[in-house]
């Protein structure tokens, strides 16, 4: 007996991305919706008929009607697939309105796992869901799985949403799911949601990650897991599937004095054609000369337009100033004097970090202006 299904979750449909401007928020939102279709496609191509969504299908307890209706319509469209939707912390059962509306609107192929009772997924395959009753239930909701009765030899699959350790997305550790719940409850597989990067807790317990990333936190692409279970006792086979359309990357550019920062940066950035699907957070650290620094800032500025979003943070980058750099401002005279004062101030440890930072930036600005006006 082989049972194959797709394990996904944290779709966060309807998330608006207010921190961005322009049409990027709309694109990101649209990409989340598109994840439904991608999951269905993967299921079809791998011969799976069940997709388990381990919570946080919707970003909020009150998703707007279009988000909800369009999601259900998309699921209905993939009629051969059974979607199992578990309430997560973002769309917990406390959002009674949401779930009652969903119950009324859900098509036949969408199952709402809103009660902690065994659900028959297939003959001898039982799903034990642990829906989030509230945003912060304050207890391990998967505990009931231990004593849940199933027929002899059935494959028991757990479905839960929340943290197994203190690394929850929400950052509190009150309602931690026992990491060895799979063993305790005799589960073949425990499908977990909440953590947006795919993680294997043990051989039978996994977080699937979000199919479409929504922050810089996780260095993983959008993905879902295809899980194959050969029998109640067999170890499950989990294969990651790529689903993301946008990539969120935090790039660390650690510079040494003498490095060519522009080349280093270019090496980190993805291929030009792909850049429009990338959100980049480039963090420069280490040390750089004035010229290198100015060059880096200008290169970063010019690279900005390539990307869906590009952030450049050089606050951690210390300025290494050489005589030549200052000469480029002026060899002697008032400008040079101003540059000297600013350089000294930026290295003066008796001043506050902010003051030094301001002096350093002022020096860089002076350098940039000096380059702009004819010598």
Q: Which residues bind another protein (CB under 8 A)?
A: 14-21, 25, 59-65, 67, 94-98, 101, 330-338, 341-342, 357-359, 361-362, 365-366, 369-370, 372-375
Q: Quick one: 184 or 315, whose CB is closer to another protein?
A: 315
Q: Look up tokens 């002076």; give the residue.
A: 366
Q: Quick one: 11 or 178, whose CB is closer to another protein?
A: 11
The span from the CA of 17 to the CA of 12, in Å, is 11
How far is residue 125 from each of residues 129, 184, 226, 288, 336, measured CA to CA in Å?
A: 13, 18, 16, 60, 78
Q: Quick one: 103 or 331, whose CB is closer to another protein?
A: 331
**In 162-277, at which residue ranges do the beta strands (DSSP E only) sit?**
189-193, 199-202, 205-207, 223-229, 237-242, 247-255
Q: Do strands 110-112 and 309-320 pair parallel, antiparallel, or not at all (unpaired)?
A: unpaired
Between vectors from CA 262 to CA 256 and to CA 308, what angle results, nearest 5°?
A: 120
- Beta-bridge partners for 251: 282
Q: Quick one: 18 or 171, whose CB is closer to another protein?
A: 18
The span from the CA of 106 to the CA of 91, in Å, is 16
Least Å distance between CB 329 and another protein? 9
Least Å distance between CB 375 and another protein? 7
Q: Look up tokens 């979000």; give the residue.
A: 210
Question: Per 3-state DSSP, what percentage of the chain is helix, strand, and coil (rounded to 5)?
Answer: 35, 25, 40
Least Å distance between CB 173 and another protein? 22
The span from the CA of 228 to the CA of 329, in Å, is 66
- What the block records as the tokens of 106 is 């859900």
Side-chain-facing half-sphere of 255: CA atoms under 13 Å: 30
The span from the CA of 185 to the CA of 357, in Å, is 56
Least Å distance between CB 114 and another protein? 14
Q: Quick one: 124 or 357, whose CB is closer to another protein?
A: 357
Least Å distance between CB 58 and another protein? 9
The span from the CA of 229 to the CA of 223, in Å, is 19
Least Å distance between CB 369 and another protein? 5
Interhelix angle 333-346/353-372, nearest 10 degrees:
150
Least Å distance between CB 76 and another protein? 21
Backbone region of residue 98 per phi and psi (left: phi > 0; alpha: psi in -120 to 50; beta: other values): alpha
- Beta-bridge partners for 3: 229
Of the candidates 313, 337, 323, the one whose C-alpha atom is nearest the C-alpha of residue 345 is: 337
Q: Do strands 110-112 and 82-85 pair parallel, antiparallel, or not at all (unpaired)?
A: parallel
Between vectors from CA 362 to CA 358 and to CA 367, what angle results, nearest 5°?
A: 150
Least Å distance between CB 59 and another protein? 7
Q: Quick one: 167 or 369, whose CB is closer to another protein?
A: 369
Q: Quick one: 133 or 237, whose CB is closer to another protein?
A: 133
Least Å distance between CB 123 and another protein? 35
Q: Quick one: 152 or 354, whose CB is closer to another protein?
A: 354
Q: Quick one: 166 or 353, whose CB is closer to another protein?
A: 353
């Amino acid at each position: 007996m082989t049972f194959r299904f797709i394990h996904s979750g944290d779709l966060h449909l309807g998330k608006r991305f207010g921190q961005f401007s322009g049409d990027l928020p709309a694109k990101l939102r649209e990409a989340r919706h598109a994840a439904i279709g991608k999951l269905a496609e993967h299921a079809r191509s791998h011969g799976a008929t069940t997709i388990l969504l381990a919570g946080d299908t919707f970003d909020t307890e009150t998703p707007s009607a279009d988000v909800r209706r369009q999601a259900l319509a998309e699921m209905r469209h993939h009629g051969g697939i059974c979607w199992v939707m578990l309430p997560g912390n973002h769309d917990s059962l406390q959002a009674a309105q949401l779930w009652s509306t969903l119950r009324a609107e859900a098509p036949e192929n969408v199952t709402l796992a809103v009660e902690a009772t065994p659900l028959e997924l297939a003959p001898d395959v039982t799903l034990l869901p642990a829906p989030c009753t509230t945003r912060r239930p304050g207890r391990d909701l998967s505990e009931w799985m231990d004593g849940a009765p199933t027929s002899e030899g059935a494959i028991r699959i757990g479905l839960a949403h929340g943290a197994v350790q203190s690394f929850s997305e929400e950052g509190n550790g009150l309602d931690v799911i026992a990491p060895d719940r799979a063993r305790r409850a005799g589960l073949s597989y425990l499908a977990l949601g909440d953590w947006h990067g795919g993680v294997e807790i043990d051989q039978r317990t996994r977080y699937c990650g979000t199919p479409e990333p929504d922050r810089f936190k996780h260095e993983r692409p959008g993905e879902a897991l295809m899980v194959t279970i050969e029998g109640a006792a067999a170890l499950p086979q989990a294969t990651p599937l790529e689903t993301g359309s946008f990539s969120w990357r935090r790039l660390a550019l650690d510079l040494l004095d003498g490095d060519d920062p522009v080349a280093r940066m270019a090496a980190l950035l993805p291929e030009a054609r792909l850049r429009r699907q990338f959100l980049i957070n480039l963090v420069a650290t280490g040390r750089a000369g004035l010229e290198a620094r100015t060059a880096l800032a200008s290169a970063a500025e010019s690279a900005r337009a390539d990307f869906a979003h590009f952030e450049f943070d050089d606050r951690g980058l210390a300025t290494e100033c050489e005589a030549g750099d200052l000469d480029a401002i002026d060899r002697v005279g008032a400008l040079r004097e101003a540059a000297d004062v600013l350089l000294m101030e930026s290295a003066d440890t008796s001043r506050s970090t902010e003051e030094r930072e301001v002096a350093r930036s002022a020096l860089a600005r002076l350098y940039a202006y000096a380059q702009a006006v004819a010598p």
